[in-house]
Amino acid sequence: MELINGNEIAATIVAELKEEVSLLQGKKPCITFIRVGDDPASVSYVNKKNKIAAEIGMTPKLEQFPLDVSKEELFAKIDELNADPSVHGILIQAPLPSHIDAVETFRRVDPGKDVDGFHTVNIGKICQEDETGFVACTPAGIMELLSRSNVSLDGKHVVVLGRSLIVGKPVALLAMQRQSWANATVTVCHSRTTDLPSITRQADVLIAAIGKPEFVTKDMVKPGVVVIDVGINRVADSSRKSGYRLTGDVNFAEVSPLASKITPVPGGVGPMTVAMLMKNTLKAFKLAQA
């Protein structure tokens, strides 16, 4: 069993981006983060993204709003950033408060600045295999992990557990593209799938993004499978100082002995999401200059 080290691969991508940005003459790529409220996880995520953007040599900016911000005020700020030529990427940190619809908010961002890849136009461009679009960062990170770990998807059966807009749907669309790094046969499973283990056992590559801790067990995989565990769940653990431990959607102890390659949690897909956000921001900068 080989561990797919997302920390190492993400660090390599960040180093590549840093070198590329250092060669740019004049202005640098600028990404603006929009955060509503002070959810501790959101604050932590934005701080991390901000730090890595600065490390690469990009210009990070932060727009903060209180939880009771009106939709009109938030959208006015998005419109302002859309119109600002010095801003190349816009990221709206989830979650948003219940009175503001997330999908409507994602659609408000200019598709050419939607470095999160959630705009209808950018999701449509994945379907059309139009490379001018932006791929959502976690699915893009998954494909990069597979590619840089020498996992060929050509003719393989990829089973995706989960049908979310953020991971399941876009990663399925990517894996089936007519590209040298794709060409897979894809099955998408979800909460209503009948006899799930009989399908997951067919997977050459299993992508688990179902949001249930340690859901995938050894009876659900075949020997030699490549496992990408997207889940990150907090499970109570009295032996830890924090009172919890982080675990994926895969029971690592059970499944890893059967897998040929597997991502850990943490340290697998998570770091790749931030790295691909930065890659999208540089791409947006280049497209804006074209």
Beta bridge partners of 288: none
| Tokens 């997302």 sit on residue | 6
Question: CA nearest 167: which of 235, 248, 48, 261?
Answer: 248
- Whole-angstrom CA distances from 131 to 127, 181, 243, 283 are 10, 14, 44, 11
Query: Is 49 tagged catalytic?
Result: yes
Query: Is 25 tagged catalytic?
Result: no
Residues 173 and 26: their CA atoms lie apart, in Å, by 37
Residues 133 and 1: their CA atoms lie apart, in Å, by 35
Residues 124 and 130: their CA atoms lie apart, in Å, by 9
Q: H-helix or E-strand containing 49?
A: helix 40-56
Query: Is 93 tagged catalytic?
Result: yes
- Whole-angstrom CA distances from 142 to 1, 171, 276 are 18, 8, 10
Q: Are 171 and 160 in contact (CB under 8 A)?
A: yes
Which of 49, 113, 125, 283 is flagged as catalytic?
49
Which of 61, 64, 77, 93 is flagged as catalytic?
93
Question: CA nearest 276: which of 71, 95, 56, 2?
Answer: 56
Which of 114, 116, 229, 249 is flagged as catalytic?
116
By annotation, the residues acting in catalysis are 49, 93, 116
